[in-house]
Amino acid sequence: MGEVVDLSWHWSDCGVSVAAVEHQSPIAPPPILPRVLSNYKIHPSLVFIVCISDGMADHLSQHRVNTDNVNCYNVSNSYNNTVNVNAPREYEDQEILEWLSPLEPRRRHHRSGPTESMVWEIGSWELRNSEDGVIERLVAPKRCCSVVGTPERGRRTSRENPLVLSG
């Protein structure tokens, strides 16, 4: 059974270990993905499923590929054919988000942010005062609102002890 193609060279720049080839031909052999996972002992999340055209599938069924010979198989050159690579969108979405920024503000917020040490209702007077609370100032015509610790105390006091703004 030689329908498995290792395309790891193709994806090395995006950190993917292995790509599997899945036939779309009506005469395709049984699903190969489980065998790929077993052979390479890789996590399913690292696998890209590469869908190829029917013509390509026919080629592969006629010309067995040595799956043990990793990194020497070049789909385009060996078969002079074009492989349509369709990475699942969620993988690309994750890559895009990481490309935009490596920072994970929300995760940090819940893991080690001041929320953990908050005491319910303390300091809420600052947010909810209907006349001059922070939220009311924030939606006021002036579009930037900054909250600064008083000079003598420093903001650190209000952060570790979330009496004022828990952010």
- Please pick, from the candidates 26, 30, 44, 151, the single residue that binds other proteins as defined by CB under 8 A: 151
- Cβ neighbors of 155 (< 8 A, separation 6 or more) are 148, 149
Q: Which of residues 67-96 bind other proteins (CB under 8 A)?
A: 92-93, 95-96
Say if CB 4 and CB 39 are below 8 A apart: yes
C-alpha distances (whole Å) from 73 to each of 15, 38, 65, 67, 158 are 19, 20, 8, 9, 61
- Residue 77 has, within 13 A of its CA and on its CB side, a CA count of 5
Binding segment toward other proteins, per CB under 8 A, in 33-41, 43-51, 78-86, 126-134: 126-134
> What is the per-residue binding string for other proteins in 15-44, x denoting contact by CB under 8 A?
------------------------------
| Number of residues located near other proteins, criterion CB under 8 A | 59
- Burial code (b: 16+ CB inside 10 Å, e: under 16) for 131-160 equals eeeeeeeeeeeeeeeeeeeeeeeeeeebbe
Q: Would you say 1 or 145 has its CB closer to other proteins?
A: 145
Q: Which is nearer to other proteins, 1 or 147 (CB)?
A: 147
Residues that bind other proteins (CB under 8 A): 13-14, 92-93, 95-97, 99-106, 108-109, 113, 115, 117, 119, 122-127, 134-135, 137-159, 161-167
